[in-house]
Copies of this chain bind each other. A is one copy, B any other.
């Protein structure tokens, strides 16, 4: 007789992105050691921390555009965050935010904030990818081990569910299309908002896993546009690779709420040991 494995403790998004103000535009935060991949903090999670600081100092409540350049990965534990308003406009504010650890800059981002209105509807969306129709229940939850056996602790916190057609890499049979589709939930089913969408666009494994497994794919740059307020509930995700050239890959990520509205779009440039 074996005992069932205990459920790992859950660290909700709101908790792991808590900021403590330490002066005007200065904050302390604690990078959670369970929101990690092989012990390294997730890049979207770090950007969400900067986004939260940007909203805090700005007169507008929602991030609509954020661009992060990753200088060096911080260790988990305490970090200092600074956010400075560059301009406050009527419709939007512009903020520069940066994360430091032990006095060394780790991530710097430019963030535009505005006020999103829950009542709008898309005017034209024929340029967006088609929304998949595969249901949440028909997608399999991704385990917290990478194909190389590395612990991906964050997968015990969030729930990434992959459509069967795009989960071949988990059994060593990538499709070659460079595309992962599925669903994402936060711990305890917490609702998404513009700040957690900054994380959502980097929550899936690299789409290159569906081409060839190549270990660590460190993000160099991540740009996110938040296009609408998402409905409560899990979000649908499409992560797509575009070009691998000279040991770099660029990927796009599309996020729809469960009613099928495109709520966020991101691109990232990452390093990869291919090409």
Contact = CB atoms under 8 A, between A and B. Distances in A.
Interface of A: 64-65, 67-69, 71-72, 86-87, 91-92, 94, 96, 105, 108-112, 116-117, 120-128, 176-179, 207, 211-212, 220-221, 223, 225, 227-228, 240-246, 248, 250, 262, 265, 267, 269, 271, 274-275
Contacts of A69: 65, 67, 86, 94, 110-112
A127 B241 CA distance: 6
Contacts of A211: 124
A244 to B, nearest CB: 4
Which DSSP category, helix, strand, loop or mixed, fits chain A's interface? strand
Nearest to A249: B124
A267 B269 CA distance: 12
A124 B110 CA distance: 31
Nearest to A265: B250
Nearest to A254: B242
Contacts of A87: 71-72, 105
Contacts of A269: 64-65, 112, 225
Contacts of A176: 126
Contacts of A221: 65, 67, 110, 112, 223, 225
Which of A69, A71, A207 is the most central at the interface, judged by chain B CB atoms within 10 Å of its CB? A69
Given A65-B221, A125-B244, 13 more contacts: A64-B220, A87-B105, A91-B271, A109-B110, A110-B110, A122-B244, A124-B178, A124-B275, A127-B178, A127-B240, A223-B267, A225-B269, A227-B248
